[in-house]
Amino acid sequence: EIRWWRDMPQEPAGAASGPAYEQLRGAARQMLMAGALSARGRAGYHGARHRRQARAAVGGVLVSPERGARTLTAFVPVATGRAITVRLHHALQAVREAADHERATGSTAAFGPAVALGVCRELTEAVIALVRGSEGVRIALEFSPEAGVPEGCPPGGGPVEFSPGDLPALRAAGARYLRDEPSVPVRITGTVVRMSRPGPWGRGAVRLRVLAGAEVPHVRVALEEEAYRTAGRAHLAGLPIRVAGRLESRGGFRRLSDASGVEPVPALQPRTEPDAR
């Protein structure tokens, strides 16, 4: 299980706790998603990649029904969620150490190697959301006695703590991850769902629903005139297209640049049984 505690300023009697509860719940879900993304693969910035798989991975997490603004507990299934909790265990410790280094030196250098432990922009954003508006937060992970403590996770470790004083370091780390994450060379197969260009001739852009080649649901591709026509003909024929390019980290890996090799993908011919006569 994962527990979150937020130290909140004293509120007037009768003040509504609903918004603070929703903030806590939302930040906790962000953190679970960050752990699920890092369990899929290490990256300083995941963007739109692996989102569908990460959502499925956290779908079985049960959250305590109490509607408080200060505490929240999530129960993560051992079978499907242990990789998430192990990744968060290491990543949160790495964030704490890197934030301490930044506060002492003014440098975000320690956040670089922390990526290998599962730290990413999505995790720093989750911690920021958790800390914002509070006087401090604590996060504790406890493993099922029946399943045992995973290798590399020492038992009995205390909660990891963050305070508003860590926010500048966390924001700087998030900006670093966004800036440094490289674009990815890909060859995508997808169906055209939207086409647009400013006039009847020249370059245009298409939006593809990705079928293969990248772990994102959709991409936007700028095409030269002939490639745009090829995409249009494939769309009218009900065929997907294949295109190579670079999936840009800017914008969350939702845009393909340097597109080339646009071609329709022929439909698979139905199999026919041999004549038995």
- Beta strands 62-63 and 71-75 are antiparallel
pLDDT tens digits, residue range 144-181?
Answer: 777 777 776 776 678 999 999 999 999 999 999 999 99
CA angle at 118 for the pair 117 and 122, rounded to the nearest 5°: 150
Distances (CA, A) of 246 to 137, 187, 250, 265: 39, 8, 11, 20
**pLDDT number for residue 265:** 93
**pLDDT number for residue 11:** 59
Residue with the two structure tokens 């192990």: 86
Q: Kindly state the average pLDDT of the residues 236-262.
A: 93
| Residue ranges of the chain that CATH labels 2.40.50 | 184-264
Q: Which residues partner with 244 through β-bridges?
A: 187, 260
Cβ–Cβ < 8 Å for 210, 44: no
pTM as predicted: 0.82
- Above 60 in pLDDT, residue 185? yes
Q: Kindly state the average pLDDT of the residues 177-194.
A: 94
| Cα 42 from Cα 91, distance rounded (Å) | 11
**pLDDT number for residue 222:** 95
- What is the topology classification, in CATH, of domain 184-264? OB fold (Dihydrolipoamide Acetyltransferase, E2P) (2.40.50)
Q: Which residue has the higher pLDDT, 67 or 29?
A: 29
pLDDT tens digits, residue range 93-124?
Answer: 999 999 999 999 999 999 999 999 999 999 99
